[in-house]
Amino acid sequence: MTTRTASNGANGFLRAEDAERSNGHSNGHTNGGSNNLNGSSTANGHTNSSSTNNGSNNSMKVVHRRKSDRKKSSPMMPTFMVSAPGKVIVFGEHAVVHGKAAIAAAISLRSYLLVTTLSKSKRTVTLTFPDIDFNHVWNIDDLPWSTFSHPSKKKYYYDLVTTLDPDLVAAIQPCLANVSPDKPSEIRKVHQNSAGSFLYMFLSLGSQSFPGCQYTLRSTIPIGAGLGSSATIAVCMSAALLLQLRTLSGPHPDQPPDEARLQIERINRWAFVYEMFIHGNPSGVDNTVSTQGKAVMFQRTDYSKPPKVQPLWDFPELPLLLVDTRTAKSTAHEVAKVEKLKKTHPKLVGSILDAIDKVTESANGLIDEEDFDTENEECLRRVGELMTINHGLLVSLGVSHPRLERVRELVDHEGIGYTKLTGAGGGGCSITLLRPNVSRQKLDRLEEQLDEEGYQKFETTLGGDGVGVLWPAVLKNGMDEDEEGGMEIDLENFLKAEGNEGVERLVGVHGGVGEREGWKFWRVES
């Protein structure tokens, strides 16, 4: 296995193993409770001095020497950014509900979280999601720290949390009472869920000495389209808090593979906590794909046990056309529809689900072949045919939608690629694996038609990077400002960026050229 990481921008990151050795359950903080995350102090926040038989002068010399050995207080943490990708299910929808395997992969549409540390005198934490018109401020000292820090409740960054503590959930409720009080009930519920999941994680990982911060999130992922948008927020928040606590190491070029995977798993564990607060009993596949990138083979045969998740570290990057039908869907409704059909026709529906499982297995084997080439038309054709078969089987289960079938019709007419629904169906999104060397003229013609009919199209990549860090939030973009250290992404510019195009241009991914210099990822490949 090899690890491909790079980070000269992660200066000051504490190595995880050093953090765990430091005072046991330190949770990334010194016992002195210093607000200075870069600083260091001895236990209890002061040096120990003892008088000697030589009198007070020698004692004073000891104290003086120890004070001079102390590290100087460091400036507050720089503004930094964390990013995480959305996901699509490529093979195995609905069959996965019935114990079969599914393959889910990351896409290049992402969420971006800007973390701004405030001066020590400002004792507030602010959550701002401008894309959903959400903004709220809490006084750090008013939060229920005593409940979360009680010995019977306290969690640490290395803990595995598989259920939410009802007492901790209850302790948060007063902090949610005045969140978005003037919004309609449905919107207010979304805002309160976002606020509650953040506070549960913030209070679990942090302490009352945590510095004042503003967390601002922008996303290029359609909400409610089955692309894992909430999981990307969860992963961004998890990574940001763990970075602030100095409990992550890297990404850096010489990071051992085992350590890199430990970091990914740590982020993923706490992202799952965030997801539990929103979804109750999430599968874990969305946050897993968003954290590690690439793809996973996912299977859950017993819902009383954790699912089996096999990372597909070498999943190739594939050109993808994602189309949002802008048609509301209900995952629960579509799942219930298949369940009812299975009860009515158990053998027939069972054979369809088995066939979907075979498609997933075949796709995994094909992509895993040593000579699989993403530039080879024959290789892509074989994957595309499996996608077509998978879609046809889903249609036979009744989970497609006229808007999804219209996308297939338009794509097939232009001969652009291979299309299938992704997720629960009944609306939502379709994905199209593009044929090699598709002309720009055909893509433009398709986009014009989709626009006329009220669809939203994204040209993206399948199987890309997982969680990434821009530390500090400064880009090298080949322009004049590079001579002065690069272009800083500040809060004002981030909030003013218009739409997906504006956000992507600001953070350095505009034009399909990938992240510019500065973005670093925990990349682990077999």
Q: What are the tens digits of pLDDT across the range 84-105?
A: 999 999 999 999 989 999 999 9
- One-letter amino acid at 156 equals Y
Q: Mean of the pLDDT values across residues 257-283?
A: 88
pTM of the model: 0.80
Residue 208 has pLDDT above 60, yes or no: yes
Is the pLDDT confidence value at 259 over 60?
yes
Note the pLDDT of residue 517: 67
Report pLDDT for 281: 77
Once rounded to an integer, what is the mean pLDDT over residues 27-49? 36
Dihedral, CA atoms, 428, 434, 439, 444, nearest 10 degrees? 10
> Is 444 among the catalytic positions?
no
315 pLDDT more than 60: yes
* Tens-place pLDDT, residues 514-524: 445 688 888 77
pLDDT, tens digit, 9 for 90 and up, residues 364-397: 999 999 899 988 899 999 999 999 999 999 999 9
Per-residue pLDDT band at 167 (split at 50, 70, 90): very high
Spatial distance between the Cα atoms of 440 and 246, rounded to a whole number of angstroms: 46
Residue 193 pLDDT more than 80? yes
Mean pLDDT, rounded, for 167-178: 96
Q: Is the preceding peptide bond at 256 cis, omega within 30 degrees of 0?
A: no
Distances from the Cα of 185 to the Cαs of 180, 181, 455, in angstroms?
A: 9, 9, 27
470 SS3 class:
strand
- Residue 369: what residue type? E
| Residue 22 confidence (pLDDT) above 70 | no
pLDDT in tens, 288-309: 999 999 999 999 888 777 778 8
Q: Return the pLDDT at 291.
A: 94
Average pLDDT estimate for 273-298? 89
Identify the band that residue 20 occupies on the pLDDT scale cut at 50, 70 and 90: very low
pLDDT of residue 49 exceeding 60: no
Amino acid occupying residue 408 = R
Q: What is the pLDDT of residue 232?
A: 96
pLDDT at 319 over 50: yes
User: How large a percentage of the chain has pLDDT more than 90?
Assistant: 56
Residue 518 has a pLDDT of 80
The mean pLDDT of the chain is: 83
- pLDDT band for position 69 (50/70/90)? low
Strands 468-470 and 519-521: antiparallel
Q: How far from chain centre, in Å, is Cα 138?
A: 24
pLDDT at 110 over 80: yes
Confidence category of residue 337, pLDDT binned at 50, 70, 90:
very high
Express as a percent the part of the chain with pLDDT over 70: 81
User: What are residue 439's phi and psi, to 5 degrees?
Assistant: -70, 145
Categorize the per-residue pLDDT at 57 as very low, low, confident or very high, splitting at 50, 70 and 90. very low
For the residues 427-444, what does the mean pLDDT come to? 92
pLDDT at 192: 95
445 Cβ contact list (under 8 Å, min separation 6): 414
The arithmetic mean of pLDDT across residues 183-201, rounded, is: 94
Condensed to tens digits (0 to 9), the pLDDT of residues 403-426 reads 999 999 999 999 999 999 999 899
pLDDT per residue as tens digits for the range 456-499: 999 899 998 899 999 888 876 555 555 555 678 888 889 888 88
Least confident of 8-22, 264-278, 312-326, 497-511: 8-22
Question: Which pLDDT score is estimated for 525?
Answer: 66
Please determine, for residue 39, whether its predicted confidence score (pLDDT) is greater than 80: no
Q: For residues 212-230, give the mean pLDDT.
A: 90
Give the mean pLDDT of 161-183. Answer: 94
Q: Which of 286, 324, 357, 465 is catalytic?
A: 286
Give, rounded to a whole angstrom, the gap between the first and last alpha carbons of the chain: 4
Q: Can you give the pLDDT at residue 33?
A: 36
Q: Is 522 exposed, middle or buried (0-12, 13-18, 19+ CB in 10 A)?
A: buried
User: Which domains does the chain carry?
Assistant: 16-69 (no CATH), 80-307+463-521 (3.30.230.10), 318-458 (3.30.70.890)
Distance CA 355, CA 357 (A): 5
Per-residue pLDDT, 477: 55
At 87 the three-state DSSP class reads strand
